[in-house]
Structure 1
Amino acid sequence: MSEKAGNSAVDSKSIRDTICNAGAGAAAGAIAATFVCPLDVIKTRLQVHGLPETRRGSVIITSLGNILKKEGVRGMYRGLSPTIIALLPNWAVYFSVYGKLKDLLQSSDGKLSIGANMVAAAGAGASTSIATNPLWVVKTRLMTQGMRPDVVPYKSMLSAFSRIFREEGFRGLYSGVIPSLVGVSHVAIQFPVYEKIKQYMANVGDKSVDQLSPGEVAVASSISKVIASVSTYPHEVVRSKLQEQGQVRNAKAKYSGVIDCAKKVFRNEGVPGFYRGCATNLLRTTPSAVITFTSYEMIHRFLVQVLSPDKEN
């Protein structure tokens, strides 16, 4: 009976941890996506179409003005629905798989090496990329279609899904998945750095990681995000170009694949082409990471407290 009760307690804790990770991750992702959507639109358009033709002052301000003038406020939030719908399972799957893999890979004394942390982050990233890639394709198409007068606009998210599947098949929905998988290197860098910075702060403050303040979590998340973003940004440019190109009907694909795309970007734009929109991306992803991770940590702590079996005691 005692063994049975022990197994039951383990199963209960596992389910509770999964619910806390998934719930906190989904909520944090939705909050962050809504906040930074305008910058996400600008970043995606810069990646795909390059710099605006007429530039006076800041590229971000110029791009923002062009979108508002041609498409209104609605243009700044193109792709928000698929972004949120993608981020709900994206962060829910990511934090759940990441938590499980960390538990599996930690040593007998409960510690996790940098290598094991990277494997856990990469495994969670790969699972998430494969599960949500079609949603990111739809998001990219919706964000960029306002710049393509030769393309029949998608009427809605469902319209985009059905048309992409009908006109391009599964290949269209999974365009850009290879650079997305390459992009797993991003989280393989970000999460271990994030965990190490949190642990360092906890050691300095002589407290546990769970006792870090929201401000300390924000600092750890922003530093880790900048390091990971600058290190892995080129794959995002390649991914966006591959995801976007299929929307021109009856037109020959500009890029035949990842290698061809990378070669053409380098030949036509040089190294700066791989970092097009990087500044905008940092302005978007850094606050996004701060909001996501800080929200996740706080919501996760709240859910653990609420769902704890010892709560009533």
Structure 2
Amino acid sequence: MTTSQSMDWQWENAVAGSVAGLATVTFSHPLDVVRTRFQVYDGRNPNLPCYRNTPHALFTIGRLEGLRGLYAGFNPAVLGSTLSWGLYFYFYNSAKQRYMENQDKTIVGTSAGIHLASAAEAGVLVCLSTNPVWVVKTRLQLQTPHHCGRPYSGFSDAFKTILKDEGWRALYKGLLPGLFLVSHGAIQFTAYEELRKIIIEFRHKQNPSVNKSSDSLTTIDYATLGASSKLVAILATYPFQQRPNIYGVPRYADSGHAMEKTVRLEGIKGFYGGLTANLLKTLPAASITFIAYENVLYLLKQTKRRG
């Protein structure tokens, strides 16, 4: 692959990733709002609404706050998701190509090792690039009728207010646990790549005339692979998520304090707050992400061939 072909291929991955991010966030945002609110509720703050379960939360938010509440923080979510997925697929495929070209010179020898290292590298770079967007999105999602401070009017206002009142460091709150959770993406992409390879090889053995490439996979395959790989990553990393601070008021000094306080106040169950909403949102969302990504990438390749 020439340098020019390599750059085109990487940008095709970035475009496909951005479209996938847009499709995913549009579908899953209300459940993300519910997940965020469940994660910050510990039963001790009277200013936070209490929801019995995910359907009750969706119904209550919709009744009291309307679509505005269900899609709170949607603009930064769209920005963050399209930017994150575009950059992630760009960095991931760039790193994977580099590791494969230098396979004999690195300690990352196996295909699983290459996928794991590539996904981890991409995750770190994306985390550093997009953390401010996710901070603003979380603040906007946590605005409820019970909010006791001055509400933000939107993404721009929230960004400016946080920067003015709390400084640039506030935009990087949660960066450390975010970097720690890079392992989530690394596990997900490794599982996706390895499961995809198993399916392709199995079909080729069953029918040698089947092309040994991703072109032999269907939309149902991508949906299944996306959901399965996401489930593996969630079960492996969900308990280590740190809850966000509320309205700029620190709840935890650091990740260790967050874990200690959660165990003391809520027990092991506290580490799985919002898990149902998370699974309902992330498993279909992961399917949508990879369906959109793989199909857009295929269309881009076909368009280039015709041109």
* TM-score using structure 1 length: 0.88
Kindly state the Cα deviation for residue 255 of structure 1 after the two structures are TM-superposed: 1.5
Contact in 2 for aligned 1:86/1:135 (Cα 8 Å): yes
Measure, in 1, the Cα distance between the counterparts of 2:70 and 2:197.
38
Q: Any idea what the Cα deviations from partners look like across 1:239-267, whole Å, max 9, x if unmatched? A: x42xx33535xxxx322122112211111
Question: Does structure 1 residue 129 correspond to structure 2 residue 134?
Answer: no
Moved more, 280-289 or 206-215: 206-215
Which residue is 1:3 aligned to? none
Contact in 2 for aligned 1:44/1:144 (Cα 8 Å): yes
Which residue is 1:209 aligned to? 214
Measure, in 1, the Cα distance between the counterparts of 2:88 and 2:145.
32
Which residue is 1:61 aligned to? 55
After TM superposition, the structure 1 = structure 2 runs for residues 119-198 of structure 1, keeping only pairs within 5 Å, are 119-146=117-144, 148-198=146-196
Which residue is 2:89 aligned to? 95
Amino acid at match of 2:163: F
Kindly state the Cα deviation for residue 235 of structure 1 after the two structures are TM-superposed: 3.1
Secondary structure of residue in 1 paired with 2:2: helix
Measure, in 2, the Cα distance between the counterparts of 1:77 and 1:136.
15
Which residue is 1:225 aligned to? 230
Secondary structure of residue in 2 paired with 1:247: coil
Of residues 234, 242, 261, the one that matches 2:258 is 261
Change (3 A) 1:70 1:247: farther
Q: Any idea what the Cα deviations from partners look like across 1:112-168, whole Å, max 9, x if unmatched? A: 521221111100011111100000001101001116421211011000000111111
Q: Any idea what the Cα deviations from partners look like across 1:80-128, whole Å, max 9, x if unmatched? A: 11011011210111001100111111237xx952122111110001111
Kindly state the Cα deviation for residue 54 of structure 1 after the two structures are TM-superposed: 6.0
Kindly state the Cα deviation for residue 211 of structure 1 after the two structures are TM-superposed: 2.1
Secondary structure of residue in 2 paired with 1:150: coil
Measure, in 1, the Cα distance between the counterparts of 2:253 and 2:51.
30
Kindly state the Cα deviation for residue 13 of structure 1 after the two structures are TM-superposed: 0.4
Which residue is 1:247 aligned to? 248
Measure, in 1, the Cα distance between the counterparts of 2:299 and 2:110.
24
Which residue is 1:79 aligned to? 73
Give the number of aligned pairs: 289
Question: Does structure 1 residue 274 correspond to structure 2 residue 268?
Answer: no
Of residues 12, 18, 26, the one that matches 1:20 is 12
Kindly state the Cα deviation for residue 18 of structure 1 after the two structures are TM-superposed: 1.8
Amino acid at match of 1:134: P
Identity of aligned residues (%): 37
Amino acid at match of 2:261: K
Question: Does structure 1 residue 113 correspond to structure 2 residue 111?
Answer: yes
Contact in 1 for aligned 2:38/2:274 (Cα 8 Å): yes
Change (3 A) 1:257 1:144: same
Gaps of 5+ in 2: 44-48, 205-210
Of residues 6, 11, 16, the one that matches 2:3 is 11
Secondary structure of residue in 1 paired with 2:144: helix
The alignment yields a C-alpha RMSD, in angstroms, of: 1.7
Moved more, 253-262 or 295-304: 253-262
Of residues 231, 240, 248, the one that matches 1:235 is 240
Secondary structure of residue in 2 paired with 1:149: coil
